[in-house]
Structure 1
Amino acid sequence: MKISIGILPTKSNADVILHPVKYKNSITYEPSAEEAVIALMVKYFIYDELNDELKEYFNELDIGYLYSESNFDEFDLEMIEKKLEKDNEIIIGRDVLLHPKKENILKLANLLRKKFKVNEFVNNTNLDEIEDIEEFNGSVVYLDECENDDILISNQFKIANKINNDKISVNSKNKNVILDDNLKGVFGVICEKTDKYPFERVKIN
């Protein structure tokens, strides 16, 4: 079974998709929360296999804070656990590789190798402190690597941003509005290249 983390759901063929953008049956978490999500996965799936020093690190984590602020909790972990097979793979995607805490996330991903195949990791167990999760309030879009002038939106995004036309301006750039019933939640998706974490607050007119 394949689990993807940090890959836009419309571009992932994994059996379980973890991403802030909710599409069909994907499992969501808050933007920038990848560090917390992977730490929670280690705590849930790998804890018993860790040495005493690493167990102490996870014992000191504020799990309640990570659950609440990441919007990823034990219910989600149980859903993943129920789908696990004999051989399971975690595919770390673009969002993680653009994350400010990439190095520590990949150290955490390395621990997941005790139970999963993992495509991206750093073989180092000197873990850093997990930082507070950045908040993304207001109008927020995901910057996809594609080439068109569309903005893909959900009905929730349409209502939240009071969109009544088939064309809008996003940061002064004209976009064609595409309403997708499979897309849920309050994040739009636009085509724009970036070398930074691909969620961005925008101004919509």
Structure 2
Amino acid sequence: MSSQESILDLILKEEKNITNKQKKILIAAIEAFSDKGYAATSTNEIAKKAGVAEGTIFRHYKTKKDLLTAILTPLVHTLIAPFIVKDFFRKVLDLSYNTFEEFIRAIVYNRLEFLKKNQALFKILIQEIPFHEDLRELFKEQIAKKIFKRMEELVDSFKAKGEIIDIPTYSSIRLTVTSIFGYFIARYILLPEAKWNDEEEIETTIQFILYGLTPRK
């Protein structure tokens, strides 16, 4: 993925047999689902955004759920999963760190760059995965388990060096990841219109993780 490409760019490149109308439908659906959520978006709205008849959507996708699945399943399985896993390992997880703080900063800034390029798709994933078991299982199998295994190794190494407190490794990872993504969700989904001082908020999040997980002197 080049610095200018988003995951949507890659979807449209990878789908060799997709028609121009299908491209318009997918782009319109991503925009609508991201803005209003899956449940509140009608196929009629998507058709208007795409500049096609509503019947055209149903010729390609039998139901609105099929349209969502057409966006998210290949997205997670063939594009997001390989890219996230490969990119995250290459830029973060496969590197060595002298301190736990260096590791946390690498995670925050790497994922921030990724999410800025893919805000709409990130919003759909966060909004819809809790309500669709098939997508949730796909995400866990393709992404979460692979990344979690390597994070376990790194967290255990920091724990052995006395960099973080001696609590279960799973708990350390959960607290770290939820703190980081809690900021991202508030920043880009819940309150994007707020006047954010990103540098200050990122630093506060990092310090919260560090002081919450480092041993007391």
TM-score, with structure 1 as normaliser: 0.23
Larger radius of gyration: 2
The structure that is strand-richer by fraction is 1
